[in-house]
Amino acid sequence: MNKLKSNIKALILLVWVLLISSTVIADYTHPGVDRLIQANKEPAGVVFELIERDKKTWEWAAPMIKDLKAQLKEKYPNLDIAIVSHGREQFQLMSRRVKEQPEAISLLRDIVKDGTNLHVCGVYSGWRDVKPEEYIDIVDVAASGPAKINDYINLGYQPIQLYKKQAE
């Protein structure tokens, strides 16, 4: 009888550990992502939009994107995801600035390698005399950031604008 109780306890513990390890533990929440998950209707995709002035945007945005992407992919494994950066933060993705946020850039590389497209705004680049080849290799320079977002929306993607999480 004691052996049976012990086996049952071990089985319960194993099931509990498996449940915990298979669940995405979210560090970030976003009302747009929450709505999509609760809707139980997979969109064609999601386009994350960034338009920031923060000098270290990618230090908070890259982990946020990774986490929100994981939440979405847990619910919709085949969901397409894109990122469009069309504020000052896009210039943080220039090759000569990579060393300013190495962990964030490494995380972005992993996100892109995993099938996410990362675009920056060509119009804004032109205004600042930044050529497409000045960006790191994972970046696609779109003709226009807002137009690229509209292209994705026309394909059925849901737009989600990201913003820095405020201290609580």
11-46 tens-digit pLDDT: 454 433 333 333 445 588 888 999 999 999 999 999
Please report the pLDDT score of residue 28 as a whole number: 83
- Cα 82 to chain centroid distance, Å, stands at 8
Please report the pLDDT score of residue 11 as a whole number: 44
Main-chain phi, psi angles of 135, to 5 degrees:
-85, 160
Q: Cα(115)–Cα(97) distance, rounded to whole angstroms?
A: 24
Asked if residue 123 lies in contact with residue 152, where contact means CB atoms within 8 angstroms, the answer is no
Q: Cα(96)–Cα(59) distance, rounded to whole angstroms?
A: 17
pLDDT at 10 over 60: no
- For domain 30-161, which CATH number applies: 3.40.50.150, 3.40.190.10, 3.30.300.30, 3.40.1260.10? 3.40.1260.10
Which amino acid does the sequence have at 168?
Answer: E
Please report the pLDDT score of residue 15 as a whole number: 38
Q: Cα(43)–Cα(80) distance, rounded to whole angstroms?
A: 9
Asked if residue 49 lies in contact with residue 162, where contact means CB atoms within 8 angstroms, the answer is yes
Please report the pLDDT score of residue 4 as a whole number: 58
pLDDT at 114 over 60: yes
> pTM (2 decimals)?
0.82
Asked if residue 66 lies in contact with residue 111, where contact means CB atoms within 8 angstroms, the answer is yes
Q: For residue 94, which of 64, 60, 124 has the smallest C-alpha distance? A: 124
Domain residues of the chain, as ranges?
A: 30-161
